[in-house]
Amino acid sequence: MGVGGRITAEAQLALRSFLRRRTAVFFTFAFPAIIVLIFGVLIQVGPAAGGLFSEPPSYYVAGYLAVVVLFTPLSRLGSTVARHRDSNRFVLLAVGPMSRLEWLIAHTLVTAAIVLVAAALLLVLVTGVTPVGLPSAAGAGLVALAVAIGAVAFGALGALIGSLTRSTDGVIAAANALALPLLFLSETFIPPALLPAWFAPAMALSPLTYVVRPIRLVTVEGVVDPLGLVPIAAVMLLALFAAARVLPRL
Amino acid sequence: MQPAVALTDVSHHYGEVTALQEVSLAVAEGSVLAIVGPNGAGKTTLVRAIAGVIDPNGQVAIDGAAAAQVDRRRIGILPQAFTPARRLTPRELIRHHAARYDAHPDPAAVLGRVGLGVGELDRPYERLSGGQQRRVCVAMAIAHDPTLLLLDEPTAGIDPAGRRALWAELERIREAGTTMVITSHSFAEVDRLADQVCILDAGRVLAADAPAALIETVAGGHRLEVTPAPASLPPVAPTAEVVDGRLRLADCDLETAAAVLRWLAETDATPRRISWDRSSLADVYAMLTEAP
């Protein structure tokens, strides 16, 4: 069976485990819906809204998707690592034939699948409550790819945080401390023109920016640019290998 | 014959704390080594060193090869405080865990071997009793038929009947040729399973040998105990000592026991209990680790 079989077995275990945690399932899908309802329905973003939210509604779709791409993988993988460490499950991993990279790939793939489902529901919700249409098939494919790559990248970063912090509380605090600034300073909801010019290079350093930009090209301009995914794909590979190296052995 | 597991001058430190200190041991293929010792003695660290989870100083060899180079499918491990995915059922846990080893056993058969009833196979792990949960963990360790089994306190929390059932299964596994290293606080378990006992304290091996040899060389044939201890020690038995309020005389032959009883009769002592028993591993352990 080999590597594929081991990854499949671990992924099945992770997915079953997630689906039976009803609270986690509920909030995974409820959280992005709340964001859409606040921004899309309550604030009614658009040129008429003025202030921070005066871009056309389609501009913010990438931001809504960024919420699921960022928060769910970061907190999910971080807490998974903390839970595995507290339960001594990494000892089995260290002794058995499955490598830490295989384990990480399995868990990030499951997270990517969950995030893709959440993103699809979110898109449907957005088209239902805001005047935004669905992208073309090619555009939808690129959006799905961006979401999946972003989810794996931030999942690996979550695993990195989970490995470096010593408690579950620490994981949540560190994940939030990273996610909140990233969410608002990655060309998600606040247009770069509204921020000081000296801050622009910092936005270019955020991996989330490279999830948002190709998605926004699709939703605002209808342009499909696969090469725009290269930076986030590189981040994903780097994060996967770095996290696999530091995953706990005990 | 080459030992299945050989440790040579193995030492390990956690920061300033010495967990293992120049430990040398050999475990013959198909035999059971039991590691006993007080809490914090280094038992779990020793198991981790054999498993290759930590990288200690010294040499750890499995069938003559360095632990890191051994085919990991051959090793089964049950960590001390281990909890699998709590919302999965025992059947799912066995299936998924064995698949990591490219093994596909019948989960019901594996769980049956550790005494888990059919009614428990599809109940979430978190809804099983503590003893049933521990049996599931043991089943996970044996699911892929390892040839080296490392069990850190395998029967902790299991009721007496369940413990006996598990011991019987471990005996069957040993008879099939599996080498086992177990840690335990139960002398009944060690008496029943171990071919070799290692008594560990503060990371050092105090004694390691076959149980009968340990008893013979450390505790002698019989032990005399008088409860409560009399006010003074018997002059006829210079090696007698008071432990936990009891007069204890190790390696006490019948003649010495009779002399102590005669001396007792001449004193004002009013013992509640006098026993003269064959020495046990518990005596060996007490003599080596509870020395005043």
Interface check for B100 against chain A (CB to CB < 8 A): the answer is yes
Question: For the ranges A128-142, B126-140, B171-185, B193-207, which has the lowest average pLDDT?
Answer: A128-142
Chain B positions in Cβ-Cβ contact with residue A25 (cut-off 8 Å) = none
pLDDT at B289: 87
**H or E stretch at B59:** strand B57-62
Residue B275 CB: number of other CB atoms within 10 A? 11
pLDDT at A50: 64
Q: What is the dihedral of CA B253, B259, B260, B263, to 10 degrees?
A: 180
* Nearest-angstrom CA–CA distance, A222 and A43: 25
pLDDT at B14: 93
Structure tokens at B11: 């030492």
pLDDT at A18: 93
CA distance B269 to chain A (A): 53
Report in angstroms the alpha-carbon separations of B66 from A112, A171, B52, B182.
38, 35, 9, 20
Question: For the ranges A80-89, B152-161, B193-202, which has the lowest average pLDDT?
Answer: B152-161
Band of residue B283 on the pLDDT scale cut at 50, 70, 90 = confident
pLDDT average, residue stretch B134-163 = 93
| Domain regions of chain B by residue span | 5-209, 220-289
Chain B positions in Cβ-Cβ contact with residue A96 (cut-off 8 Å) = 72-73, 75, 100-101
Note which residues in 235-254 of chain B have CB less than 8 A from chain A. Answer: none
The closest CB to that of B79, out of A88, A97, A98, belongs to A88
* Nearest-angstrom CA–CA distance, B102 and A181: 43
- pLDDT above 70 coverage of chain B, percent: 99
Q: In the CATH hierarchy, which top-level class contains the domain B5-209?
A: alpha beta
pLDDT at A244: 96
Q: Are A163 and A81 in contact (CB under 8 A)?
A: yes
The closest CB to that of B102, out of A5, A94, A249, belongs to A5
pLDDT at A49: 63
Positions of chain A with pLDDT lower than 70, given as ranges: 1, 45-52
Band of residue B82 on the pLDDT scale cut at 50, 70, 90 = very high
Backbone dihedral region for residue A166 (phi beyond 0: left; psi -120 to 50: alpha; all else: beta): alpha
For residue B80, count CB atoms less than 10 angstroms from its CB and return exposed for 0-12, middle for 13-18, buried for 19 or more: middle
Band of residue B158 on the pLDDT scale cut at 50, 70, 90 = confident
Residue with tokens 């750890």: B60
Chain A positions in Cβ-Cβ contact with residue B151 (cut-off 8 Å) = none
The closest CB to that of A97, out of B84, B87, B101, belongs to B101
CA distance A132 to chain B (A): 40
pLDDT at A1: 64
pLDDT at A196: 86
- Domain span holding position A201: 2-246
Over residues B216-260, the pLDDT tens digits come to 888 888 889 999 999 999 999 988 989 889 999 988 999 999 999
Over residues A134-180, the pLDDT tens digits come to 888 999 999 999 999 999 999 999 999 999 997 888 898 999 899 98
Edge to edge, the sheet with strand B246-249 lists: B241-243, B246-249, B222-227, B273-278
DSSP string covering A200-236: HHHHHH-TTHHHHHHHHIIIII----GGGGHHHHHHH
Collapsed DSSP state (helix, strand, coil) of residue B60: strand
Contacts A–B by Cβ distance under 8 A: 79
Decide the pairing of beta strands B65-66 and B196-201: unpaired
pLDDT at B291: 55
Phi/psi for A43 (5° steps) reads: -80, -30
Angle (nearest 5°) at CA B55 between B50 and B61: 40
Residue B292 clears pLDDT 60, i.e. is over it: no
pLDDT at A57: 86
Decide the pairing of beta strands B196-201 and B204-209: antiparallel
* Nearest-angstrom CA–CA distance, A232 and B290: 61
DSSP string covering B68-122: GGS-GGGEEEE-TT----TTS-HHHHHHHHHHHTT----HHHHHHHTT--GGGTT
Instruction: Report CA torsion sign: B67, B61, B75, B183.
Output: negative
Mutating which of B54, B73, B94, B96 best tests the A interface, going by the most A Cβ atoms within 10 A? Answer: B96
Residue with tokens 């999946």: A148
The closest CB to that of B72, out of A21, A87, A97, belongs to A97
pLDDT average, residue stretch B182-205 = 94
Judge: B83–A89 Cβ closer than 8 Å, yes or no.
yes
pLDDT at A51: 66
- The count of domains in chain A is 1
